[in-house]
Structure 1
Amino acid sequence: MSPDFLRPVRTMITGIASVFAASMASAESAHGIAMYGDPALPPDFVSLPYANPDAPKGGKVVFGNTGGFNSLNPFLQKGTSPWQLRFWTHESLMGRSWDEPFTLYGLLAESVETAPDRSWVEFTLRENARFSDGSPVTVDDVIWSYETLGTEGHLRYRGLWGKIDSIEQTGPRTVRITFNEADRELALIAGLRPILQKAQWQGKGFADAQLHDVPIGSGPYVIDSYEAGRYVNLRRNLDYWGKDIPFRRGTMNLDDMRIEFYGDGTVLFEAFKAGELSAVREFNADKWDTQYNFPAVQRGDVIKTEIPHGKPSGMTGFVMNTRKAPFDDWRVREALTLAFNFEFINDTITGGAQPRITSYFSGSDLAMQPGPASGKVADLLQPFADDLMPGMLEGYALPQGDGSARNRSNIRKASKLLTEAGWIIQDGVLVNQMGKPFKMTILLQQGDSEMATAVEIYARALSRLGIQVMTEQVDNAQYTGRTAELDFDLTPFRRALSLSPGNEQRLYWGSENANAPGTRNLMGVASPVVDGMIDAMLTSETREDFVAATRALDRVLTAGRYVIPIWSFDVGRIAHDSALKFPKTLPIYGDGPQYMPEVWWHDG
């Protein structure tokens, strides 16, 4: 754990004179804040552009999760909680519009104010903001939430705490956060931290919360009932404080939302076909085309809806644990990538309908450009020339197979690279100079049939190289524990990326937390080049510089060969009860946790 996480933060209440002095040096309060430029929506906007402000309230829906849960606190590092809770039950000071690259509008806060250089940000709470028990949301709750989440919460919340120099109350409903480093995005990140109720945890250990210690939130939904590992039922709070603010109009329209838990995806799909679930997301194009023709679809009771988007591909594939030998050798990682017969595997699993991800930001203007680095990208990389892997400056592209089952050409290239890395074949087994065989374990979650099929095909190819492969399929809880403890060689991997990447990049692949238990940096990359490109992104003052820095980062990560990329998800696919409706205007980010069911409604 970084010592920054434990750094004390000075909490101060300033006098009237200091408030006046600060206000003279600051910009005016605003209804929103954008990463670059101004918010697209005016101060008097009625609702988000992709929400229907006249959507009716009511109806009940049932969604399905695989696995189980042993916690109802989504803000802790320990335990497994339903992923939906942090979107439905709790709120932050500002809320994000998914129709702009990165813009926030007032939620718990009615306004936001920043220094011209964004060295500090100040939020003014709405006077009527309330927790679900009717108590007001106060500045004291805000300060306590930032400190508690920053020191005891999930790792995703701790990074910001180390960048805060002070957090202080500057008025009855205002709180100012001052940062200790130059980073334009910090003002926005601060606006997105969930706010918890301080009084609930007085005399209790937040990090030691049990299943029954359900955190009180200010969001539109409250947990109505649950049975450990089986279901969670949420109901819309009829006294929800924020139902009339512009950011919330036309959202959170359903009265009851229930999450049922199933052993695996196959059982969940059968439950949906039987009418036990209201909607499912489908990520396999071939299955979408061939298996969604059951009677309810034919009758029109279930609708197949596709939601396009304009966001980057992100990265999906098999991540290699570079903390371990031999995965710390780029030649080995390239050989393993060559042996992964994507064209054949993709045809087998998706019918070839989903194109391959070519880089972390592919499909967007932020993606690395083909060929040698040039212009500002080259300028950013050149100071790190001694630390660059092959392909980072001169250009890198993923290997392509011929589509055949044997993939002979790429297997030969892989064998040559393994030889260069010191591995030789003895009696059909690949061994190193010490005679130790090349063995690796691929960790999978139970019920993930697609990844199991991909691994089965992949293992056959690896065996032709003399590599011994063992597959371990474990339940959700074991999988979470194993990956948190970094106990894997290869495992499936997914990182969704936005049109405005920022500090989360440090969480995903920054050096600081590369070896920390529970890190999101699963590949274990600890590279001064990666860190340097992230720093360049975060300190960019123009869009042009930001794009160049992101393209440079994309090039370094892709040529680093940390992940074997598989197919992209270029459109959202939702099969749903015909009574579920959504607005005609779609956000540029398409589907996601904040789209369905957030702006959908029940009409039946």
Structure 2
Amino acid sequence: MLPAKLGRAVAASLLALALSATPSLAQDAKPARAQDAPMGEAYTGPVGNPPHGIAMHGSPALPADFTHLPYANPSAPKGGRIGWGFQGVFDSMNVFIRKGAVPLGMFDSTLGPNVYEGLMFRSYDEPFTMYGLIAETIKTDPERTFLEITIRPEAKFSDGVPITVDDVLFTIDMLREKGAPHLANRMKAITSVERIGDNGLRMNFADGSNRELPLLIGLVPIVPKHAITEDEFGETTMTPFIGSGPYVVESVKPGTRVVMKRNPDYWGKDLPIKRGLDNFDELIVDYYRNETSRFEAFRTGLFDINGEGSPIRWSKEYDFPAVQKGDIVLNVFETKTPVAMQAMVFNVRRPMFSDERVRQALTLLFDFEWVNANLFNNQYVRTASLFQNSELSSYQRPISEAERAILGDHISQIDQALLDGTYAPPKSDGSGNDRTNLRQALKLLQQAGYGLVDGKMTNKATGEQLSFEFMGLTRAHERLALAFQRNMMRLGIDMQVRTVDSSQYWQRWLSFDFDMLMRGYSASLSPGTEQFGRWGSAASENPGTQNIIGANSPAIDAALDALVAARDRGDFVAAVRAFDRAVMSGTYFIPLYHAPGQRVARRTRIAVPKTTSIYGYQSATWWETE
């Protein structure tokens, strides 16, 4: 187990980088170039994983002799095409660097690693598990202080040249020196490299504090040393580099279209991890200048798949002729991953929000039922947990003995309803004027030292009206805030709604210069050190971090220490649930809503497997029926 001090030390080291999607892993001392790696000896000590795969917690679910991924159809036919449409433009085909806007489809989390691929391949039917792809064997110690791999002898790039240790070493150097931050930071965490025999290498890390690191490195795309110069690697280009993936780029229409063709000689097509995947002969990715033209293009058949992010449009605008004739089918794919927490957050550093009873009162005044019916056509579900819809959520689950041990004496900070699993966000009668909730809110405000004076909710000690500013960024923020403002006025609370430009919004966000604003908390099945930047006490008084709320809770800190120290899945789940309870108990925000499932419209000629992964649909498993 990692000691509590180590967890907080990790948090402190992340403060300056907490706004980054990927925390920096750079070391103080610049490591030697990987391409100068000396020969080393294979590790022979205790191992932390089987050679065919590695899981974030515990062991991989699939045995070494698995035949295919659980959500893939190994009998899926090959052939046909699939078309995607996105809003925007692109001006580069170099996916490895920060400069330039690149199209989706070559190497990304949306459409997958089609042109470029990593040492390992992720199974989306497990929280976070990687299986060998280019890497034939994977090895690390129980502390995860290194990653040692051997390269499959059959692995090769699309031009037929075998993938070697030199390509991996070249990739490490190029990404360290020129790569996009999320890739560069992973490579910078490698303190030294050793060659192991003719087709192996070991990447050493400073310590095992980031247990995700071997898995994250496994995701990094490997580039061909023989086909890219160091100068070319760091520049934008409309000529794609060679990859080792199942597709090659056939044509590019700058800014608007990329066509990728399945490589019939793809080296990995018969591997179990790839069986039933990469079924289309052609992938087409089109770009449109605005959302109106993009959606119209889908309606008229210019592309095949449309993931719909707006539940309102899903309920009102998918009645066009192609749907009515049965040429398009509407699917809602269920997932078992956490939904993002969208919330109106309090800045608890502000005097009016430092008393939790005031925050509880305002939470009662947000009428979700009215908002959902009148603004969103009843398309949303109320969110009640940072990890709702997953095994990590504490919602509707009584606290376990393992969680009690994690929280220790700090358990007294947790609301009883969150301990016994009966907590739920306030519910109204949907009228927009629920008198029961208004009375409960008034009682809490009176307990906090407020009272109505000439129709104004007034602090009896200072004589000042309860007043705050909601800072919004978009018209959608403003629309929701104005609906909330009506209930504030009923209790004499002065809620000012102000929409500002992007520059001012983010500057005030970074400097904690706000009373209330909207924000989202993305979540995964493997939360880690990024949570210290969002919720850790060490980040609460450091402008520039993601702890914009100002949470400073020993209960949260204790749960976070247990979270990063966990080694098996059971301990990890207990730690995350304890963390969830501690955060929800603090009333740091007004939880809003989410749309259940993944909404996707597709042409009926596109078939999908019967089994869906826990992360939802995976388009690499689809195929054409015509």
Residue 494 (structure 2) aligned to one of 439, 448, 466: 466
Greater mean deviation of Cα atoms: 91-100 or 484-493? 484-493
Residue 52 (structure 1) aligned to one of 73, 93, 105: 73
1:579 is displaced (CA, Å) by 0.9
Task: Give, as a single letter, the amino acid of the residue that structure 2 aligns with 1:314.
Answer: V
Structure 2 distance, partners of 1:506, 1:171, is: 40
Are the aligned partners of 2:277 and 2:620 in contact in 1 as well (CA < 8 Å)? yes
C-alpha deviations, 1:237-271, integer Å up to 9, x for none?
A: 4554433322222212231221323423x554343
Partner residue, 1:398: 425
Structure 1 unmatched runs, 5+ = none
Percent of residue pairs bearing the same amino acid type: 36
Task: Give, as a single letter, the amino acid of the residue that structure 1 aligns with 2:369.
Answer: E
1:194 is displaced (CA, Å) by 3.5
Partner residue, 1:601: 623
Task: Give, as a single letter, the amino acid of the residue that structure 1 aligns with 2:328.
Answer: V
Greater mean deviation of Cα atoms: 318-327 or 420-429? 420-429
C-alpha deviations, 1:34-86, integer Å up to 9, x for none?
A: 34554333334332222223333333333233455566555556765556542
Residue 317 (structure 1) aligned to one of 334, 342, 362: 342
C-alpha deviations, 1:292-334, integer Å up to 9, x for none?
A: 232211211111223233x143223135374985797474654
Partner residue, 1:261: 288
1:452–1:76 Cα change, 3 Å: farther
C-alpha deviations, 1:461-483, integer Å up to 9, x for none?
A: 45553111123587xx9999998
Q: Any idea what SS the aligned residue of 1:19 has?
A: coil
Partner residue, 1:566: 592
Partner residue, 1:440: 470
Q: Any idea what SS the aligned residue of 1:382 has?
A: helix
1:370–1:48 Cα change, 3 Å: closer
Are the aligned partners of 1:221 and 1:234 in contact in 2 as well (CA < 8 Å)? yes
Task: Give, as a single letter, the amino acid of the residue that structure 1 aligns with 2:306.
Answer: V
Task: Give, as a single letter, the amino acid of the residue that structure 2 aligns with 1:466.
Answer: D
1:543–1:492 Cα change, 3 Å: closer
Task: Give, as a single letter, the amino acid of the residue that structure 2 aligns with 1:457.
Answer: A
Q: Any idea what SS the aligned residue of 1:5 has?
A: coil
Are the aligned partners of 1:14 and 1:169 in contact in 2 as well (CA < 8 Å)? yes
Structure 2 distance, partners of 1:136, 1:114, is: 25
Partner residue, 2:278: 252
Q: Does 1:368 align with 2:394?
A: yes
Structure 2 distance, partners of 1:210, 1:537, is: 40
Partner residue, 1:42: 63
Structure 2 distance, partners of 1:165, 1:518, is: 28
C-alpha deviations, 1:541-598, integer Å up to 9, x for none?
A: 343322211111111232344554333444333211111111223223322xxx0x21
Q: Any idea what SS the aligned residue of 1:253 has?
A: coil
Task: Give, as a single letter, the amino acid of the residue that structure 2 aligns with 1:468.
Answer: Q
Partner residue, 2:614: 588
Structure 2 distance, partners of 1:29, 1:570, is: 36
1:524–1:204 Cα change, 3 Å: farther
Residue 5 (structure 1) aligned to one of 26, 31, 34: 26
Q: Any idea what SS the aligned residue of 1:598 has?
A: helix
Structure 1 distance, partners of 2:320, 2:301, is: 11
Partner residue, 2:8: none
Structure 1 distance, partners of 2:83, 2:286, is: 6
Partner residue, 1:243: 269
**TM-score (normalised: structure 2):** 0.77
Are the aligned partners of 2:104 and 2:285 in contact in 1 as well (CA < 8 Å)? no
Paired residue total: 585
Q: Any idea what SS the aligned residue of 1:438 has?
A: strand
Structure 2 unmatched runs, 5+ = 1-15, 18-23
Greater mean deviation of Cα atoms: 509-518 or 43-52? 509-518
Are the aligned partners of 2:49 and 2:59 in contact in 1 as well (CA < 8 Å)? no
C-alpha deviations, 1:120-162, integer Å up to 9, x for none?
A: 3312122343445655544344345456656765554566567
Q: Any idea what SS the aligned residue of 1:558 has?
A: helix
Are the aligned partners of 1:315 and 1:495 in contact in 2 as well (CA < 8 Å)? yes
Structure 2 distance, partners of 1:278, 1:32, is: 34
Q: Does 1:110 align with 2:131?
A: no
Structure 2 distance, partners of 1:135, 1:327, is: 66
Residue 82 (structure 2) aligned to one of 47, 61, 69: 61
Task: Give, as a single letter, the amino acid of the residue that structure 2 aligns with 1:5.
Answer: A
1:526 is displaced (CA, Å) by 7.0
Are the aligned partners of 1:316 and 1:494 in contact in 2 as well (CA < 8 Å)? yes
1:26–1:100 Cα change, 3 Å: closer
Structure 2 distance, partners of 1:589, 1:83, is: 19
Structure 1 distance, partners of 2:512, 2:174, is: 25
1:240–1:338 Cα change, 3 Å: farther
1:338–1:127 Cα change, 3 Å: farther
